[in-house]
Amino acid sequence: MTLLPSRTPIARDATPNPYSDSEKPMKRQWIRTGTGTPPILLGILILVSCLLWTSATMAEGDGWKTDFERLCGYTDIATTLEPSKLTELIGECDLLLERLQKLSDPKKKMYIFRTKKCRDLFRFVLETKGG
């Protein structure tokens, strides 16, 4: 039987280990990118920038919806409006129809149909008032 030479303890081996091998606490290790930023923060930054870009582009393209809601909101009180206001609303409906024709929105046909109905109502009220 051969005995292996015993190892002489080094200073770091002299400190007792309070944990057994199964009880060692897990160390938090970040996988670092080349710049030293944790990937979670990098992912959050990318997500926030995508959301801001998407909301900015949607805000630019949805201006016609506010015009649509404003114009068709006048249909409830169309009979009480002055003829000059009715002709103004008819002109704005025509401009909105031109904008809607250029859209690539799948609901484009529905908004065009409803805008035409609003314009036709304004025109009918204007004709019945004799304007």
- 114 falls within a domain: yes
Tokens at 105, concatenated: 């929105």
Q: Which residue has the higher pLDDT, 1 or 94?
A: 94
- 15 falls within a domain: no
Q: How far apart are CA 98 and CA 53, in angstroms?
A: 26
Reported as a pLDDT band with limits 50, 70 and 90, residue 62 is: confident
- 122 three-state secondary structure: helix
- 45 falls within a domain: no
- 12 falls within a domain: no
Domain count, the chain: 1
- 33 three-state secondary structure: coil
Instruction: Judge whether 108 and 61 are in contact, CB under 8 Å.
Output: no
C-alpha distances in Å from residue 46, one per residue of 39, 72, 106, 120: 10, 39, 29, 47
- 19 falls within a domain: no
Residue 84: give the domain boundaries.
Answer: 63-128
Task: Give how far the C-alpha of residue 64 lies from the chain's centroid of Cα atoms, to the nearest Å.
Answer: 17
Q: Is the pLDDT of residue 24 over 70?
A: no
Number of DSSP helices (H) and strands (E) in the chain, helices first: 5, 0
pLDDT for position 130 = 83
